[in-house]
Chain A
Amino acid sequence: MIQAASGDRAQNPILKWLRRNALHSIVLPVGITIFLIWTLFPYLWILATSLKPNRDIFVNATIIPERVTLEHYRYIVTSSDFQTYFRNSAIVAITTTLIAMLIAVFAAYALTRLRFIGREFVARATIVTYLIPASLLFIPLFQVAFQLKLTDRLWGLVIIYLIFSVPFSTWMTISYFNTVPSELQDAALVDGASRVRALFSIFLPLSLPALAVVALFTFTVAWNEFLFALLLISRDSQKTIPVGLTEFVRGDTYQWGRLMAGSLIASLPPVIIYFVSQRWVVSGLAGGAIKG
């Protein structure tokens, strides 16, 4: 009897279906749903807060606003300096990203494909500089920036950000360039290509995923950086978004609606860039992690 019962269970089509499809049909959707809620909840809360009138932010702590207002967005766009901050952040982040990539590509090529004394040392020193915490450097860097008259200038921020982003970008690019077979370059050189041509025609096309990661990393760091932007910039006309947003905190009074509206707008560029370059980023991260 017992054997017969277990035989029935084995034949039960529902159990069989469950056994075959449990992972794809139940575990994955449920898991992804939980993950999505977990991940998106803060953004939904930010969105909800940015759409509530001030009183409702405190009195009706709900995810769905009872009353909706665009007043915080209107204020941000038309009555504050937010547009200036946004433009400044864009200038700083894009410039930093382009320069960091340019330096990283040439440095990585030299460190992976050229033979010269001290190559290993330079490669290791590159990453060591990245490991020094910014909090230890801010007073000396401020002094240097002040002496060079780089305070209250967007160029000052770009130069400071390059100090932190170039080492990581170079290291990441080195990791990826190391995976490019040397035979490809050798063949190109035999065919008469110069090293620069080999770099642009062979290494760069093959390294697009890594370059996407480097660009994204550098852009995000420059876009979000607060400490140096706070210390180096005082004038409203030169402030970037992270510092500009602090104007909505006045003493112990937080203007939550404006803060959330500003934060939401500020988060859009990195999010859009992530979406656009998603495929490259995933393979670039994997490449850097596994092949380095």
Chain B
Amino acid sequence: MHRYGRLLTPRASRRSILKGTAAAGGASLLAGSGGKPAFSRQELGGSLTVWGVVSFTEAGDELLGQQMRDWGDENGVEVEYVALPGSDYATKVATAVESGAVPDVVMMIADLTIFYASQGRLVDLSDLFGELNQLAGGIWPSLLPHVQADGKTYSIPMEADVSVMYTRLDLVEEATGERTPPTTLDELEEIAREVTDPPRQFGIGLTLGRAPDTVGQIQQLIFADGGTLVDESGAPALASEGAVKALTRVKRWWDDGLIPQDSPSWDDSSNNTSYQSYQSAFVFNPASILGYLEQNDPELLEDTAQAAFPSGDAGAFPSAGTWSWAIFNDSENVEAATELIRHIMQPDNLQAVYEEVGGRWYPAYIDLQNEPFWAERPAFEDFPTILENAREPWYPAEGTPLLITQLSAVDQRLILADLAQAVTVNGADPEQAVQEAHDAMVQTFEEVASNE
């Protein structure tokens, strides 16, 4: 029973289907859904190697791999799924690409899709995307800028990576009398002042280390206070009133002791640790903390909410990303690789994997939010709103491959993390620090452009 409609995952591509159909002279065909073509029973053959990042549970990896192997068994394709550690994944992919030893299907994280698409290394999956986008309400539009370039789709989003604000409801209740997460940054600050009790307890677990999490959180604060990273033409526009306002806010939080004192040394896992050790009342993180709480700390889970990032003076503009499936041009079995993606992207298959992963991967398909697994858990009730309001880093410009590569370089150089440390640890004037970060962005943009 396939509740969201199903594109048959065929034993052959449409081209070979036509061949097979002609050869068989009207051999029995399976009827496809939604007016899709029917497929022959011809085997695809060969082998496929698939690389993905480890999910948040072993059961999730196992089920995903099993789905691929089952499909391979049915279609005469030997499929090997390799789940690799996320921390060194980009290095491993880069080495494989440079060496010409690329797997057939690769899970893309962050903005790897655009990076490799801009080099002409990825297969255009626009047709497959067009078909899959008709299932289960389609794929969240806010995920598409991460997988599309020049009007083509180069990878298929398989999950939505949503960042939320973890909230200690017991502490919020102490401060306000209500168990409701703050919706504005001003309210957040007010509650944080009430609940901060150093050295054991701090209000705002903002990451200030030289880490990607810091970049993401500072970016959201800048957006919330009306700043942007680039202007409509795609040129650096960090030096703005909004950015200064956001950094002034961060500086005030730090100077007033609302942020844990060890935050400048945090990495991407430290805000998890801070929340799980009851150190911070609020942290900004993807949904991984929830999984830990469900398994290990039901008491803290009871007092926890996953809320949307609060609004600043300009509004709330959360960030969302996606992990997606792509095929490199070097693959010797593009046909089978495409069909494999079609199979694992069926909404029912995906939902089964999501449930094994424990909620850390939010559905890429819009209508899957109505599944009981999501709809009946209050922890996820803000996720659809977050995905609707999500803003990509290159807003308000169009996400061209060059611009996305330039912004990736800015991320890799941790310019926003350095900016946060400048105004907190070094006590720099926010206006001056923002200007210096802007200058660093300009220089980075020029260097990337000159290398293109």
* A residues in contact (CB < 8 Å) with B: 53-55, 58-59, 61, 138-139, 142-143, 146, 151, 230-231, 234-235, 243, 246-247, 249-254
Contact = CB atoms under 8 A, between A and B. Distances in A.
Given A55-B296, A139-B95, A230-B88, A252 B286 contact: yes
Interface in B260-276: 268-269, 271-273, 276
Given A251-B288, A252-B268, 16 more contacts: A54-B296, A55-B296, A58-B277, A59-B278, A143-B101, A146-B100, A151-B101, A230-B92, A231-B95, A246-B88, A247-B85, A249-B86, A250-B56, A251-B54, A252-B285, A253-B56
Given A139-B95, A230-B88, A234-B84, A250 B269 contact: no
Contact of B86 (A61, A139, A143, A251): A251
A234 B87 contact: no
A253 to B, nearest CB: 5
A58 B117 CA distance: 42
A146 B99 contact: yes
A53 B296 CA distance: 9
Contacts, number: 85
B98 A247 contact: no
Contact of B269 (A59, A61, A230, A254): A254
B360 interface: yes
B295 A54 contact: yes
Interface string B70-114: 000000000010101111100110011011110000000000000
Contacts of B98: 139, 142-143
B288 A143 contact: no
B297 interface: yes
Contacts of A142: 95-96, 98-99, 101
A254 B269 CA distance: 7
A249 B99 contact: no
A250 to B, nearest CB: 5
A143 B99 contact: yes
A139 B99 contact: yes
Nearest to B101: A146
Interface in B22-56: 51, 53-56
Contacts of B54: 247, 250-251
B116 interface: no
5 contacts: A59-B276, A143-B101, A230-B91, A249-B86, A251-B54
Contact of A249 (B57, B85, B277, B360): B85
Contacts of B87: 246, 249
A55 B297 contact: yes
Contact of B57 (A55, A243, A250, A254): A250
Q: Which 5 A-B pairs rank lowest in CB-CB distance, beginning with the nearest?
A: A246-B85, A58-B277, A54-B296, A58-B276, A146-B101
Contacts of A247: 54, 58, 85
Among A54, A58, A231, A246, the most chain B Cβ lie within 10 Å of the Cβ of A58
Contacts of A246: 85, 87-88
